[in-house]
Amino acid sequence: MLAQAVESYLAVRRACGFKLEGTDWRLRSFATFSDARGKSYVCSQTAIEWAGLARSIPERARRLGGVIRFARYMRAEDQHHEVPPAVFGSENRRRAIPYIFSRHDIERLVQAAVHPAFRGLRRDTYSTFFALLACTGLRVSEAIGLRYEDITPDGLVIRSSKFGKSRLVALHETARDHLDRYLERRRRYAPFDDHVFVSVKRKALCGSDVRCAFRTAARKIGLPCGSQRPRATPHSLRHTFAVRALETCPDSRDRITQHMLALSTYLGHAKVADTYWYWIQ
């Protein structure tokens, strides 16, 4: 049965260090679909039919791409398995052009985050949160996950980030002063939670809280945050930090290489190629 083969394949891949987030449930869904049609081997027609059930072309491509890799693995030992053609195109999506803030826009955004409808600590939480993203280039999830112990004399300790790595992010003295002032009020507001940023429920912020507050502030100052491209999002603050850092890059080849490597490490990129992507924008 394909269901057993899928579990074996996933176990081998995970043993090699792959997380397979999303791939696991897709392949299990495919195995269930195939088993229901009496297929003991990967069948191209069945795979294409299953992948075609997805609503969007990119999702169809991702579904079929996972089956193709699984089929190649299985075919190495049994030629009865068919490797489907990539009829829905590449599963690698082209990265959207990032929205880059001007310095004035960032200042306006931080000020707009102090929304009149917000009361108590919330008036300071999002202005501090967005300002921190802008001056450090942190991911939203990294800022949300910050705890008191992560604020050290040397900077912010980012623990087990996107790729399971930890790093130290330096803080300018002005950013540290602003953060310290915020923490004076924050500690009194939710003394039993050690997250740096908390919601009105006195618990750690969640991504939806941040996105909602960002859209409110962005619309208030007229930033594009709808469906058009490029559009402003909380992650755009990280994009902006990376681009501004590249603008300070020296001219010589060796110094450019050093600058790019340092920036890649600072941003927590898994590959330096992800940092060079900003260079070509």
Residue range 117-130: average pLDDT? Answer: 82
Burial of 192 (0-12, 13-18, 19+ CB in 10 A): exposed
Residue 240 to residues 90, 233, 268, Cα–Cα distance (Å): 28, 11, 15
Sorted by sequence, the CB contacts under 8 Å of residue 27 that are 6+ apart come out as 6, 9, 10, 66, 67, 70
How far apart (Å, rounded) are the C-alpha atoms in residues 194 and 187?
A: 8
Is-contact 138 158, C-beta < 8 A? yes
pLDDT value, residue 97: 81
Banded model confidence at residue 115, pLDDT cuts 50, 70, 90: low
How far apart (Å, rounded) are the C-alpha atoms in residues 242 and 136?
A: 9
Catalytic residue among 162, 172, 187, 202: 162
Cα 134–145–92 angle (5° rounding)?
70
Question: What are the pLDDT digits (tens) for 243-275?
Answer: 888 888 877 777 878 888 888 888 888 777 777
Whether pLDDT at 226 is above 80: no
Whether pLDDT at 116 is above 70: no
278 in active site: yes
pLDDT value, residue 175: 93
Tell me which DSSP letter residue 148 carries: G
pLDDT value, residue 147: 94
Amino acid occupying residue 10? L
Residues paired with residue 155 on neighbouring β-strands, in sequence order: 152
Catalytic residue among 123, 220, 235, 259: 235
Catalytic residue among 99, 126, 266, 278: 278
269 in active site: yes
Question: What are the pLDDT digits (tens) for 41-56?
Answer: 999 999 999 999 998 8
pLDDT value, residue 251: 77
Task: Give the rounded distance of the alpha carbon of 279 from its chain centre.
Answer: 19
72-85: b (≥16 Cβ within 10 Å) or e: ebbeeeeeebbbbe
Is-contact 227 235, C-beta < 8 A? no
Question: What are the pLDDT digits (tens) for 32-86?
Answer: 999 999 999 999 999 999 999 998 888 999 999 999 999 999 999 999 999 999 9
How far apart (Å, rounded) are the C-alpha atoms in residues 95 and 40?
A: 37
Whether pLDDT at 117 is above 70: no
Whether pLDDT at 215 is above 80: yes
Instruction: Count CB-CB contacts under 10 A for residue 136.
Output: 23
Catalytic residue among 186, 195, 238, 239: 238
Amino acid occupying residue 79? Q
Both tokens of 177, joined, read 């002063």
How far apart (Å, rounded) are the C-alpha atoms in residues 144 and 129?
A: 9
Catalytic residue among 60, 178, 195, 269: 269
Residue range 87-109: average pLDDT? Answer: 86
Which of 100, 93, 109, 58 lies closest to 231, judged by CA? Answer: 100
Which of 242, 259, 239 lies closest to 251, judged by CA? Answer: 259
235 in active site: yes
pLDDT value, residue 210: 94
Residues paired with residue 30 on neighbouring β-strands, in sequence order: none
Question: What are the pLDDT digits (tens) for 146-174?
Answer: 999 999 999 999 987 766 778 999 999 99
41 in active site: no
**pTM for the structure as a whole:** 0.69
Mean pLDDT of the residues in the chain: 88
Residues paired with residue 198 on neighbouring β-strands, in sequence order: 204
